[in-house]
Amino acid sequence: MPVPSAADAAPFAIELSDVEAAARRLAGVAVRTPLITSAILDERCGARVFVKAECLQRTGSFKFRGATNAIARIAEGARARGVVASSSGNHAQGVAEAARLASIPATIVMPDDAPAIKRARTERSGATVVACDRERDDREAIAEALAERLGATIVPPYDDPGVMAGQGTVGLEIADELDGLGIVADRVLVPTSGGGLLSGVATVMAGRMPSAICQPAEPEGFDDMSRSLAAGERLDNASRSGSIADALLSRRPGTLTFPIIARHARPGVAVPDEWLLRAVAFAFTELKLSAEPGGAVALAALLSGRLDVAGETVVVVLSGGNVDPGILAQALAMDAPTYPQSMGSGGISVAPS
């Protein structure tokens, strides 16, 4: 239940203590993902960059955290009837796997253009997948009808205190690890759609590392969060399809996530598909990590130079790694990224004798 914030009359859906409680529920179940550093990335950005590798999370994205926490909060009597979720893929896998581990059934409504890898991985966790049309169908309404028929509980993709607190554990791990290194982040860039992850991370940073600026990174054409932050009210995207970042195509910021984000975050940056693909290629070639386009949007914001972070300590969340092989091939086939000038070895030139 919402607890009033000490700093504001309006209650927020989650507080730092909710995220800490979620972390206790996730201990030993979710992976504590590493913060990855890369000399090449630092040179490219002129900054000290830490990549929170949530692609290494169970199910390949951070979504497992929120799903596990939300399911743990379902009342005992309702739990056996299972859960229903609506998702383009990563939330689907997170809910399906969290439900499998809780030994309860899961039914997932997925748009029919969801990447094949995400549907296959959702089904292998034992979930029943119900397909719908991304543009034509109201998939939330379909999910609600299903949940009513089954007596099941809906696990929303972002606008839910349990989900938001679970995603916030990403921020808690970032703060813990940087604290351990004696480092304070100047900036935290978070791939954002409905705002579940950003609301959780921003809640943690506000309490634990208040000088760090939290910002959304969004695909171009789907920057509803940044525009909403600038306008001070929730604005819609024009479309729900048309970006390669299939994971980040929500209509608008959430009703629960937005007030928190408006309090604790600043407008961020929008990144075109071309740079999402370059970031996927960079993650594979330089970081040795599998990243999907939406998951790589914060990394892409840095690589594209759309954000000046010179001299800063920056954390980028790499939120998901479920990339279809065809997309990776497309990314790798693009022009090779430009590399920093090497120091060279001088004038040596010898042929084998």
Q: How far is the CB of 301 from its own copies (least distance, A)?
A: 20
Strand ordering across the sheet containing 269-271: 35-36, 48-53, 313-318, 187-191, 213-219, 269-271
Q: Which two tokens stand for residue 79?
A: 């739990």
Residue of the chain from 19, 163, 289, 299 that contacts its own copies (CB under 8 A):
289
DSSP secondary structure letter of residue 132: E
Going from the C-alpha of 282 to that of each of 44, 60, 90, 219, the distances in angstroms are 11, 18, 21, 17
Instruction: Report the residue number, 146 or 229, with the smaller CB distance to its own copies.
Output: 146
Q: How far is the CB of 106 from its own copies (least distance, A)?
A: 6
213 scored as a contact of its own copies (CB under 8 A): no
Map residues 51-70 to x or -, x wherever contact with its own copies holds by CB under 8 A. Answer: --x-xx-x-x----------
Of residues 241 through 260, those in contact with its own copies by CB under 8 A are none
183 scored as a contact of its own copies (CB under 8 A): no
The answer to whether 201 and 174 have CB atoms below 8 angstroms apart is yes
Residue of the chain from 1, 9, 39, 238 that contacts its own copies (CB under 8 A):
39
Q: Counting beta carbons within 10 angstroms of the beta carbon of residue 345, is it exposed (0 to 12), middle (13 to 18) or buried (19 or more)? A: exposed
Q: How far is the CB of 228 from its own copies (least distance, A)?
A: 30
Q: Which two tokens stand for residue 88?
A: 């383009």
**Residue pointed to by tokens 């525009």:** 227
Query: Which span (18-26, 41-49, 153-161, 279-287) binds its own copies, by CB under 8 A?
Result: 279-287
Map residues 323-342 to x or -, x wherever contact with its own copies holds by CB under 8 A. Answer: --x--xx--x------x--x
Q: Three-class SS string for 159-171?
A: CCHHHHHHHHHHH
Q: How far is the CB of 287 from its own copies (least distance, A)?
A: 7
Instruction: Report the residue number, 103 or 211, with the smaller CB distance to its own copies.
Output: 103
Residue of the chain from 5, 128, 313, 330 that contacts its own copies (CB under 8 A):
128
- CA gap 197, 225 in Å, rounded: 12
9 scored as a contact of its own copies (CB under 8 A): no
Q: How far is the CB of 333 from its own copies (least distance, A)?
A: 8
For residue 63, indicate whether it is catalytic. Answer: yes
- CA gap 129, 123 in Å, rounded: 7
**Residue pointed to by tokens 């695909």:** 219
95 scored as a contact of its own copies (CB under 8 A): no
Query: Which span (19-27, 158-166, 196-204, 288-296) binds its own copies, by CB under 8 A?
Result: 288-296
182 scored as a contact of its own copies (CB under 8 A): no
Size of site (CB under 8 A) for its own copies: 56
Local structure of 158: helix, strand or coil? coil
- CA gap 270, 277 in Å, rounded: 14
Neighbours of 89 (CB within 10 A): 28
Residues ≥6 apart with Cβ < 8 Å to 218: 191, 192, 193, 224, 225, 226, 248, 268, 269, 270, 271, 297
134 scored as a contact of its own copies (CB under 8 A): no
Residue type, 229: L
- CA gap 250, 131 in Å, rounded: 17
Q: Which two tokens stand for residue 133?
A: 């049309």
311 scored as a contact of its own copies (CB under 8 A): no
179 scored as a contact of its own copies (CB under 8 A): no
85 scored as a contact of its own copies (CB under 8 A): no
The CA-CA-CA angle for residues 100, 104, 109, to 5°, reads: 80
For residue 52, indicate whether it is catalytic. Answer: no
- CA gap 309, 314 in Å, rounded: 7
169 scored as a contact of its own copies (CB under 8 A): no
| From 52, 61, 63, 243, the catalytic residue | 63
What is the contact surface with its own copies in residues (CB under 8 A)? Answer: 31, 34, 36-37, 39, 53, 55-56, 58, 60, 82, 99-100, 103, 105-107, 109, 117, 124-128, 130, 132, 137, 142, 145-146, 149-150, 284-285, 287-291, 321, 325, 328-329, 332, 339, 342-346, 348-353
Residues serving a catalytic function are: 63, 319
